[in-house]
Structure 1
């Protein structure tokens, strides 16, 4: 018997915690409500696996819809609200740290090889702007 990937990924207790934040972040736009628990499961699946959004299993819904909802929640500050509540509740041990890769920056010299990013961009543009075919004026040396 095959079990669903999307079923029961987060417990009812966990969902009860997240649900209040999700409902508070919802914009009243008159649209039909989606299955927010399934969307949250899909987002957590992406976070756990590190897979690209397009590889999200169909059981979570259309990847683009899940990503759009993730983006809306991000812009609404949902994740910061959840982290603040977790920090204030003491439910998460203080020794547990989270690193969000979206705020990690490399030094500008780490951007590439000798010559830096400018030279690499120039080289890419040079290749991209090369003619894709030859004109008849370029064949002057041939009969």
Structure 2
């Protein structure tokens, strides 16, 4: 599913523009990959489903993980670089 929403051609362009995910200081689960996060973000934005309804079967991590990555990328100006 990830390759259908974020095809390899798009990923090769976008990947260098995304910052590496940071591990949390307190430990816990490792962060999801940028490609998985981008897939989840694009799925929610394109489909209009609520974040909590992001299908786990997609392999994008949790809804909160994708939402936080979207928030962080917005705050850090990543979308302007991608655009």
TM-score, normalised on structure 1?
Answer: 0.47
More helix by share: 2
Counterpart Cα distance in 2 of 1:41 and 1:73: 14
Deviation at 1:80, TM superposition (A): 1.3
C-alpha RMSD of the superposition: 1.7
Q: 2:18 matched to which residue of 1?
A: 22
User: 1:53-92 CA distances to partner (integer Å, 9 max, x unpaired)?
Assistant: 1111112211001101110001001111212xxxxxxxxx
Could you list the runs of 5+ residues in structure 2 that have no partner in the other structure? 24-29
Deviation at 1:34, TM superposition (A): 2.7
Kindly indicate whether structure 1 or structure 2 has the higher relative contact order, using CA contacts under 8 Å at least 6 residues apart.
2
Q: Max radius of gyration: which structure?
A: 1
TM-score, normalised on structure 2?
Answer: 0.77
Counterpart Cα distance in 1 of 2:81 and 2:2: 26
Deviation at 1:7, TM superposition (A): 3.0
Q: 1:43 matched to which residue of 2?
A: 41
Could you list the runs of 5+ residues in structure 1 that have no partner in the other structure? 1-5, 84-143
